[in-house]
Amino acid sequence: MKLSERIKTIIGVRILEKKIRNQRRSAVVCNIQYAQHIGIIYNATETVSFEIIKDLAKRLSEHSNVSILGYVNSKKLIDHYLYRKGFDFFSRNDLNWYYKPVSEIAEAFGKKAFDILIDLSLEKYYPIQYIVALSPATFKVGKFAADEKYLDLMIDTEKETEQMKRLHEEILKDQKEESVTNDIEREIEKKTHTELQLSFLINQIMHYLSILKKN
C-alpha cells in the first residue's frame, strides 16, 4: 500500500471510530432458522467468489429475505458483475477520498436492519469494514481477526490453515498439466485457495448460526 493510501485509510479509521462512539446498538443473537432478513457482504474482486456466494444465497433464500453486496477493488465494474439478479456491487469509483462508500447502493445496504449480517471478507477492506461497523444489523458475523471490533461472532479459520493447505496442494496436483504455464498455475492456485477459504468460512458460519440459542 502506498503511503498516501495508508494515510487516507488511517484517517478513515479514525472517522469511523468517532461515528461508532455515537452509535447505539445492542447485539441480539439470532439463529439462522429464525432470521427473516439476512445481509451478505463480501469481496467480489475475485470472480471465483460469485458462484460460492450464489449457492449460499440460494440456500438462505428458502426461508429468509437475502440482500447481497459485493465490493470490487477496482475503479470500475467489469461485465461479469453487470445484471446479476439478486446481487448489488460497488467499486473503488464509489468511494470518497478516504475510502468511505458513497454510492446509493452501498448506503442503502448499510442502513438495512438485518437480523443477521454476514461479512465473508477473507481480508480486510476499509469500505467493507465501514459498512459492517455502522450497520444497524442486530447480529454480525464474519472471519476472526485479533483487532476486529465490529463483529458479534467470529470464525477462526487459521486453526484449519494446515489442513486446508494440504487439501489445496492435492487439488492442484490433479489440475496441473505439463502444458500449463507458470502464470496460469499461479492463477489456478490463487482461485483454489480463495474457494477453499471462503467455503470453509461459510460452512463454519452456517454451523454456528444453526446451533445458536437466543440469550
53-68 pLDDT, tens per residue?
Answer: 999 999 999 999 999 9
pLDDT for position 184: 44
Residues 87 and 80 sit within 8 Å (Cβ to Cβ):
no
- Per-residue b or e along 39-66, where b marks 16 or more CB atoms closer than 10 Å to that residue's CB: bbbbbbbbeebbebbeebbeebeeebeb
**Which tops the pLDDT comparison, 210 or 78?**
210
- Per-residue b or e along 69-78, where b marks 16 or more CB atoms closer than 10 Å to that residue's CB: bbbbeeeebe
Residues 121 and 45 sit within 8 Å (Cβ to Cβ):
no
Residues near 214 by Cβ (< 8 Å), separated by ≥ 6? 28, 29, 30, 31
Residues 22 and 140 sit within 8 Å (Cβ to Cβ):
no
Residues near 182 by Cβ (< 8 Å), separated by ≥ 6? none
Exposed, middle or buried: residue 195 (CB in 10 Å: 0-12, 13-18, 19+)? middle
pLDDT for position 146: 86
Q: How confident is the model at residue 170 (pLDDT cuts 50, 70, 90)?
A: low
Report the CATH number of the 3-159+189-211 domain.
3.40.50
Question: What does the alpha-carbon distance between residue 46 and residue 197 come to, in Å, rounded to a whole number?
Answer: 13
Compute the average pLDDT of residues 99-121: 96
Q: How confident is the model at residue 194 (pLDDT cuts 50, 70, 90)?
A: confident
- Which ranges in 92-159 belong to alpha helices (H)? 104-111, 126-134
**Which tops the pLDDT comparison, 178 or 19?**
19
For the chain, percent of residues with pLDDT exceeding 70 = 80
Residues 115 and 106 sit within 8 Å (Cβ to Cβ):
no
**Which tops the pLDDT comparison, 98 or 158?**
98
Domain boundaries, the chain: 3-159+189-211
Residue 94 φ/ψ region, left for φ over 0, alpha for ψ in the -120 to 50 degree band, beta for the rest: alpha
- Look up the pTM and report it: 0.85
